Amino acid sequence: MGLFRATVNALRSGLSRTRSALATPLAAMRGRTIDNDSINELERLLLSSDVGTTTTDAIVNELRDAVSRGEKQNRDILELLHDQLVNRLANKKRTLAIAERSPTVILVAGVNGVGKTTSVAKIGRALREENRSVLLAAADTFRAGAVSQLATWSERLGIEIIKGQQGADPAAVTFDAAEAAIARSADVLLIDTAGRLHTQEPLMRQLEKIKQVTSKKVDGAPHEVLLVLDATQGQNTLVQAKRFSEAIDVTGIFLAKLDGTARGGIVFAIEDEIGIPVKLIGIGERPEDVEPFDPEVFVDALINEAVS
């Protein structure tokens, strides 16, 4: 799916906390000779933004080697960093999968409060902007108020919803929603689920059941299983991503709340340690506060000072 364009300005303001922690001090390094001092400073900066040891080590080791070979003295440290960061994220498919025959089914999962329901609303809105017909499934029947939260988004955005009663079997709601999506020839079915911890075996099995229901009704479904992670949770997101991807086949990550952290470098740690592509990022509470994860645009917004 083409899913929306990355917009540098929105990203810049969404990433403003990380930018103050990273882009501002980096800008001060501009033009400095690349030597052991500046490399050490860079290392400290990257680690303090949660970029993680794998990416940081790779970058600083390469720089140190170059310095000891007497090379790269003339290149700007920011340019070098930019290229290295972008290269590490290159060559992954980050667009949402689209089924050859509609509906495309997107299952959204994650722990409590990370931003699943908001992210479902964001994706629904963006898809509708692309003139796709969307149906929402309120399969979080567990938490009080969860169904009405999604129903409110459905009303505000003018997107249809299939819901059950609180306490209903989420797999049954999913079943009904899949049938409705087929009957109405919807392009995309977006399934919101209850928050769960990877340690809650029955709830993890329930997620598997929801997945199976979709695959019985729709060929190849779910076409995407998006794990929502809350960027403000830092290193905890890595544990969640590992466990969820062991339990269900996660195809992509929606990294929410990047606007709420100064440690937006966590994207690199997720990519290094989990290997599942970050596909979308959330940079605010409004339905339009979503961006596709485009490495080039992201890195640019993260480390470069605004031109204006």
The residues binding ligand GDP (CB under 6 A) are 110, 112-118, 195, 256-257, 259-260, 282-285, 289
219/227 Cα distance (integer angstroms): 21
Name the residue type at position 177: A
CB of 224 to Mg ion, least distance (A): 18
Where do runs of H (alpha helix) occur along 144-294? Answer: 146-157, 170-183, 201-217, 236-247, 266-274
Please check whether residue 227 is in contact with residue 114, taking contact to mean a CB–CB distance below 8 angstroms. Answer: no
Residue 199: CB atoms within 10 A of its CB come to 8
Residue 20's binding partner out of ligand GDP, Mg ion, none, with CB under 5 to 8 Å set by partner kind: none
CB of 143 to ligand GDP, least distance (A): 7
Q: Which is nearer to Mg ion, 117 or 251 (CB)?
A: 117
Q: Which is nearer to Mg ion, 150 or 283 (CB)?
A: 150
Residue with the shortest CB distance to ligand GDP: 282
Record the tokens describing residue 262, joined without a space: 């100064």
Q: List residues binding Mg ion (CB under 5 A).
A: 116-117
Q: Which is nearer to Mg ion, 116 or 217 (CB)?
A: 116
Secondary structure (H, E, C), 24-36: HHHHHHCCCCCCH
CB of 178 to ligand GDP, least distance (A): 21
273/264 Cα distance (integer angstroms): 15
Q: Which is nearer to ligand GDP, 78 or 225 (CB)?
A: 225
Q: Which is nearer to ligand GDP, 56 or 174 (CB)?
A: 174
Q: Which residues pair with 255 in a beta bridge?
A: 229, 281
Q: Which is nearer to Mg ion, 1 or 256 (CB)?
A: 256
Q: Which is nearer to ligand GDP, 111 or 221 (CB)?
A: 111
Residue 287's binding partner out of ligand GDP, Mg ion, none, with CB under 5 to 8 Å set by partner kind: none
| Unique residue bearing structure tokens 């299952």 | 107
CB of 293 to ligand GDP, least distance (A): 13
CB of 258 to Mg ion, least distance (A): 19
81/153 Cα distance (integer angstroms): 40
Residue closest to 1 by CA, chosen among 271, 224, 206: 224
CB of 290 to ligand GDP, least distance (A): 8
69/49 Cα distance (integer angstroms): 29
CB of 250 to ligand GDP, least distance (A): 15
Residue 288's binding partner out of ligand GDP, Mg ion, none, with CB under 5 to 8 Å set by partner kind: none
Residue 103's binding partner out of ligand GDP, Mg ion, none, with CB under 5 to 8 Å set by partner kind: none
Residue 282's binding partner out of ligand GDP, Mg ion, none, with CB under 5 to 8 Å set by partner kind: ligand GDP
Pairing of strands 224-230, 188-193: unpaired
Q: Side-chain half-sphere of 29: how many Cα atoms within 13 Å?
A: 25
Record the tokens describing residue 279, joined without a space: 């596909």
Q: Which is nearer to Mg ion, 115 or 292 (CB)?
A: 115
Record the tokens describing residue 259, joined without a space: 């606007």
What single DSSP character describes residue 38? Answer: H
CB of 13 to ligand GDP, least distance (A): 12
| Unique residue bearing structure tokens 């994650």 | 110
